[in-house]
Amino acid sequence: MRTIINKLREKRIGIIMGGWSSEREISLRSGKNVYQSLKRQGFNAIKIDINQVFAEQIIKAKIDIAFIILHGNPGEDGTIQGFLELLNIPYTGSKVAASAIGMDKVITKRLFEYAKIPTPDYVFVPKNDSIINSVQLIRKKLGFPVILKPCTEGSSVGCVIVDELKVLLKEITKARRRFDDILVEKFIEGMIATVGIIGQRVLPILELVPKKQRFYDFKAKYTKGETEFIIPARIQKKLYGQVQVLALRAHNVIGAKGFSRVDLIIAKNKPYFLEINTLPGLTELSDLPVQAKQAGISYDELVLKILESAID
C-alpha cells in the first residue's frame, strides 16, 4: 500500500471538475474539496475546470492521472473517460461502458430487472413517441402517483411528482422541451435510502429524511438543514443485510469500478432500487462521505481510496 501511495505522490494529478451540465456547481464544490484533501496529503494536484474545449485543456495540463469529479454529461456518461483512454491517462472510477450505463436510468433499470434487483415499475417515453399514447400507457400500467425523470440527468434535476392525468400531460410536454428521453416511474412512498460502495466494500446504509420536500430533490440534497441524515438506517437487521447485498450486485451488474452510490426506496419492508451513481458527490453535504465516516473512513482516506482506483 505504501509503495502505491509513494508512486502516486510522484504523479501530477488533474482534478477534472466543473463542466457545463446542470450539476456544474455541485461538481465545482466536490472538486474543491478533493483538491484541498489531496494537497493536505502531499500530492501534486491541480484543478481543471473543463469547458467545451476540454481536449485542449487536458492536454495542456500535462497530467499523469485524472481524478474525475464531474457530475452529469460529459463526465458521468463515459465521454471524458473515453478521451482519457485515447490519451492513455489513467483515471479514477468506472470505465466507459459502466459510466454510460449508470448515466442512463432506463438501461440501468433493465439491468436491475435482469439481475433480479427489485425496482419500481416504469414506462420509457422516448422523445419522438406520441405523448397521448405514452400517457394512456402510463395510466394503464402505473396509475398515480408517478414521478417523471429525465433519463440522463442527476441530482434529481428535472424530477417531478405527478398525481393526476391532466398534470401528467402538461409535465411530459414541458419535459420534452428541456430534455430528450423521459422515464416515468411508479412513485413509491417510503424510506429514502442510499448505499455507498468503495471497491467491493459496502458502506453503512444512510437514511435520508427531507424536512419539507416530498422526495429527495435538488434543494433537499444541497441545502444545509433541509434533510436529516440517519445512519445506520432504521431497518431490521435481516433487511439491512439484503439491501447491502443487492446494492453490491447493482454496482457489479453495470460493471462499476472504484466507487459508486446506489439509491433506493424501502416500503413495507421491501426495497425498490432506483438508480446507481458512478460519480457521487464529494461535497461537505454529500451522502458518500457521510457513509464513509460511519464506516471509520475519513474524508482524506476516502479521497485516497478513490485515487488508488486509477491504478488498480
Look up 113 and say whether it is catalytic: no
Closest CA to 283 of 23, 47, 14, 103: 23
Is residue 146 within 8 A of residue 162, CB to CB? The reply is yes
Sequence-separated (6 or more) residues with CB below 8 Å from residue 206: 193, 194, 195, 196, 229, 230, 231, 232, 233, 287, 290, 291, 294
The Cα-based distances of 245 to 76, 112, 312 in angstroms read: 24, 13, 23
Catalytic residue among 77, 185, 275, 287: 275
What distance in Å separates the CA atoms of residue 262 and residue 108, rounded to the nearest whole number?
Answer: 11
Q: Is residue 263 flagged as an active site residue?
A: yes
For residue 180, give the DSSP letter: S
Catalytic member of 277, 286, 299, 309: 277
User: Among 155, 156, 286, 309, which one carries the catalytic annotation?
Assistant: 155
Select which of 281, 286, 287, 299 is catalytic. 281
Catalytic option among 261, 272, 286, 299? 261
Does 261 participate in catalysis according to the annotation? Answer: yes
Rg (CA), the chain: 19
Q: Of residues 185, 217, 263, 287, which has the active-site annotation?
A: 263
78 is catalytic: no
All three cell numbers of 101, joined, read 450505463
Q: Taking Cα atoms as reference points, which of 75, 76, 42 lies closest to residue 307?
A: 42
Peptide bond into 232 cis (omega under 30): yes
The active-site residue, picked from 122, 222, 272, 299, is 222
275 carries an active-site annotation: yes
Q: Which amino acid, 209? A: V
Active site residue 252: no
Is 122 labeled as catalytic in the residue annotation? no
**Residue 51, φ and ψ in degrees, nearest 5:** -135, -160
User: Is 76 annotated as catalytic?
Assistant: no
Active site residues: 23, 155, 222, 261, 263, 275, 277, 281
